[in-house]
Amino acid sequence: MTIKTMLEHLETAHVATTSPMATLFAKKYVLLAIVILIGAISHAIEDARRSGWKGFAWFGANVFVAGFVGIIFSNVASLVSPDWMFIAGGVGGYMGPVAFKYVQEATLVRLGMKHDKK
């Protein structure tokens, strides 16, 4: 590889990372992460108020798990419509692991493996 081709590759990479489209995508996902994190922190605070303070490690683990659920919810919602990513991420982050129980129950009822108790 010559110096000229190396400089061309560097220029291409620089243009790709500083383009307005890359900046837009970065802002979108940073905003999504903030929404999910706010939902996860509010879930952890509510859980700490309900069951008592158990320490920062427990609080951090609770935020991490709730944030993971928020990410999963936002990814699933992006398959349906990208407009719902932020709402689903925040709600999933706020609901935390409880949301998996609702999804599991709805899925089992829909597949006919569990009868709905109506």
Residue 93 lies in a domain: yes
pLDDT digits (tens, 9 = 90+) for 1-27: 566 665 565 555 555 555 666 666 677
Mean pLDDT for 40-64 is: 92
Flag whether 118 is in a domain. no
Distance (Å, rounded) from C-alpha 58 to C-alpha 107? Answer: 30
- Domain for residue 69, yes or no? yes
pLDDT value, residue 66: 92
Strands (E), 10-101: none
CA pair distance 41, 35, nearest whole angstrom? 10
Answer yes or no: is 81 within a domain: yes
Distance between CA atoms of 10 and 44, rounded to whole angstroms?
44
Tell me the per-residue pLDDT of 54-85, one tens digit each, with 9 for 90 and over. Answer: 999 999 999 999 999 999 999 888 888 888 88
Domain containing residue 79: 32-111
Whether residue 8 is contained in a domain is answered as no
Record the pTM: 0.68
- 14: in domain: no
DSSP SS3 for 105: helix
Residue 83 lies in a domain: yes
Q: How many domains would you assign to the chain?
A: 1
Examine residue 104 and state whether it is found in any structural domain, yes or no. yes
Within 10 angstroms of residue 52's Cβ, the number of other Cβ atoms is: 7
Structure-token pair, residue 6: 């190396």
**Which has more pLDDT, 32 or 14?**
32
